Amino acid sequence: MRDVPHSWPSCLCHGLISFLGFLLLLLTFPISGWFALKIVPTYERMIVFRLGRIRNPQGPGMVLLLPFLDSFQRVDLRTRAFNVPPCKLASKDGAVLSVGADVQFRIWDPVLSVMTVKDLNTATRMTAQNAMTKALLRRPLREIQMEKPKVGEQLLLEINEVTRAWGLEVDRVELAVEAVLQPPQDSPAGPSLDSTLQQLALHLLGGGMNLRAGSTLPPGPALPATSVDTMEMVSEVQQPAVHAEAWAGPSPKQPVAEGLLVALQPFLSEALVSQVGACYQFNIVLPGGAQNTYFLDLTTGRGRVGRGMPDHIPDVVVEMAEADLQALLCRELRPLGAYMSGRLQVKGDLAVAMKLEAVLCTLK
């Protein structure tokens, strides 16, 4: 990246203009000295461009610049640090976690740091984030939690493979696991967001089929469990036909979300309220661009469900398009995939959102 040989006319012009610059500096000295002399601290180096050509790093100490010919850029050689903001990542075993990192780096070649990258901090941060994403995809959640120093050392090597070509060396990488948003898929510790939403949707779909057939719902949770169990026990070959029939019948006048909430009404109880104790708001975007708002309030009494805004600020707000909701119920879209891609947005505490599992238990 440094100077390459130039033709003799170019070198002659360069030398002549530089000589005239020195002559002008001498003729106007000492006034020009206030502008031409620069002090470079020990921890800095000055990269000087004379007529567009880069020179060797200058400093520390006093550096002489030619007026109108030289431009310069200071490079700090001290160790600096930045943090990679927490982002949602998936591990090898399907867990979703919020992970950030603290990175310390220093510049070992000032010329390369100026010549190769325009914004060194941004480029290094993006490189660290990409390396962190790839590293965590290859490891299960338990290994990430128990061997964070080892994972940080591996990240250090992978980041340096890229950044050393920029004249930059990373000295330390420390992972920071903010929260586990979803446990591993094969973990017995608790239900995942994927399984909770999928099973809840299938149970509510069964209720929606009963409504569509014209049957009257009982006043309590006495809905026959056989119909729900039948939905779960259908073989893989027969499932597409059941789903197609399920969505072929709803009345076009009744939105999908409204039918699901009406099916949920008979199962509300004081026991469910004491177990969940949260208020949910569902914003469903219709194909025309309009938005319908529904609520599920499990904070007082037997709980309430209906259309519109809840009476108080909801604990969790779920936003998604009606087409995506229908795709979830037909198993054409996975809840985890919708959540990670932003098609299913959960605003609020995800742990409170996971309490929808209690609603699922009442339907079984």
pLDDT at 230 over 50: no
What is the model's pLDDT at position 264?
75
Mean pLDDT of 112-133: 89
Q: Among 17-31, 176-190, 291-305, 343-357, which range has the highest average pLDDT?
A: 291-305
Tens of pLDDT, residues 302-359: 888 888 888 888 888 888 888 887 776 665 666 666 666 677 788 877 667 777 666 6
What is the model's pLDDT at position 216?
37
Read off the pTM.
0.48
pLDDT at 276 over 70: yes
Q: Which residue carries 């980041």 as its tokens?
A: 159
What does each C-alpha distance from 82 to 129, 172, 179 come to in angstroms?
12, 11, 20
pLDDT at 12 over 90: no
The better pLDDT of the pair 329, 300 is held by 300
The better pLDDT of the pair 203, 340 is held by 340
**Band of the pLDDT at 30, cuts 50, 70, 90?**
confident
Question: Any idea what the Cα angle at residue 130 is, between residues 126 and 131, rounded to 5°?
Answer: 115
Mean pLDDT of 169-182: 85
What is the model's pLDDT at position 160?
92
Lowest pLDDT segment from 32-41, 171-180, 183-192: 183-192
Q: Write the single-letter amino acid at 75.
A: V
The better pLDDT of the pair 184, 40 is held by 40
Mean pLDDT of 60-78: 87
Mean pLDDT of 217-245: 37
pLDDT at 105 over 80: yes
Q: State the chain's maximal CA–CA distance in angstroms.
A: 103
What is the model's pLDDT at position 169?
92
What is the model's pLDDT at position 202?
55
- Measured torsion, CA atoms of residues 34, 40, 46, 50, in degrees rounded to the nearest 10: 20
Mean pLDDT of 164-173: 92
- What is the residue-wise DSSP string for 140-174? -HHHHHH-HHHHHHHHHHHHHHHHGGGTEEEEEEE
Could you tell me the two tokens for 147?
Answer: 């061997």
- Residue 346 contacts residue 96 (beta carbons within 8 Å): no
What is the model's pLDDT at position 78?
93
**Band of the pLDDT at 231, cuts 50, 70, 90?**
very low
Tens of pLDDT, residues 236-270: 334 333 333 333 444 445 677 677 777 777 778 88
- Residue 128 contacts residue 102 (beta carbons within 8 Å): no
